Amino acid sequence: MADDVAGQTAALGFLAALDDEQATVARRPFGDGQRRWLEYRPEPRPGLALADMDTVARKAAHRLLASALTPPAYAQAMAVVALEEVLDRRENWVRDRRGDNYRVVIFGTPGEERWAWRFEGHHLSVTVTVVDGVVSPAPIFLGANPARVDLAGRPVLRPLGIEEDLGRAILLALPAGQRDRAIVNDQSPFDIYSGPRPSSSRIEPTGLPRSDMSGNIGQMLDELVAIYLSRSAFPLNTGNLHFAWEGPPGPGVGHYYRIQGDDVLIEFDNTTADGNHAHTVLRRPRGEFGGDLLAEHHHSDH
């Protein structure tokens, strides 16, 4: 996967499956202002919708998405897509939620020195940028609404359950004094702080440093970070981690946590009153959308 330079073969295969009119919708110049974009709400977005593709093009779109994700993360992404139909039924079919309302857009030409692609829809956004053959695999957003569907008190579908449970387990494992430092707000926020903005660099690290955690709790945090990093088929660097929690510690109520390091920002929220609508995001404050790679590229050119 990762040695295909961020899905170059899959991207070319996707474009080859489109007719001229579809390709016009699916392609943008690399310098297009909407390249640095993260939109996980049910809002209009650029690109060609799965609904407007034939079966060959649609399968090619899924191969492109899979080229950037590990198999478990791809399974989570497919669960997110399937939940659109579940949510539509819960809302009495009034908002036209659809599993085929996800779009693919390619910026530039795959294989050139600068190009990018994105697979995005409600509660799913995966962006990959390639500069001089180096991959920037962020941001990656996965959400779930409903976050949990139960049968006889047991989950039928809970795509982000591991991320939620391990985050809470870390908080509850902390000694009282450290837990007080980790909880930076008694109330959860409305949404993740980085939101759909193109940059998350303004959020300052807060909460409890990883270096202050005891061995087993620190290992739990490392495990949670590794779970988020394992979404991507490409490596990311971490260091100087902090863990912060907002809201009550118990399940079934709104809560939020954030993990920050030198070049990683992880956010999880499940902040509705019933605690059944989750958002997660993995971002690179110093270089998402290939910002650091492009800076190095321009510096080398000049």
Domain ranges of the chain: 2-138, 150-286
List the chain pLDDT tens, one digit each, 302 residues: 444 766 999 999 999 999 999 999 999 999 999 999 899 999 999 999 999 999 999 999 999 999 999 999 999 999 999 999 999 999 999 999 999 999 999 999 999 999 999 999 999 999 999 998 888 888 999 999 999 999 999 999 999 999 999 999 999 999 999 999 999 999 999 999 998 877 655 688 899 999 999 999 999 999 999 999 999 877 777 788 999 999 999 888 899 999 998 889 999 999 988 889 999 999 988 888 876 554 544 445 54
Q: What is the pLDDT of residue 292?
A: 54
pTM beyond 0.85: yes
Give the chain as a DSSP string: -GGGTTTHHHHHHHHHTS-HHHHHHHEE-TT-TTSS----SS---SSEEGGGS-HHHHHHHHHHHHHHB-HHHHHHHHHHHHHHHHHHHHTTT-S---TT--EEEEEE-TTSSEEEEEEEETTEEEEEEEETTEEE---EEEEESSS-EEETTEEEE-TTHHHHHHHHHHHHHS-HHHHHHHEEESS--SS-SSTT-S--TTPPP-SEEGGGS-HHHHHHHHHHHHHHHTTBSS-----S-EEEEES-SSTTS-EEEEEEETTEEEEEEE-STTS--EEEEEE-TTTGGGHHHHHHHHHHH-
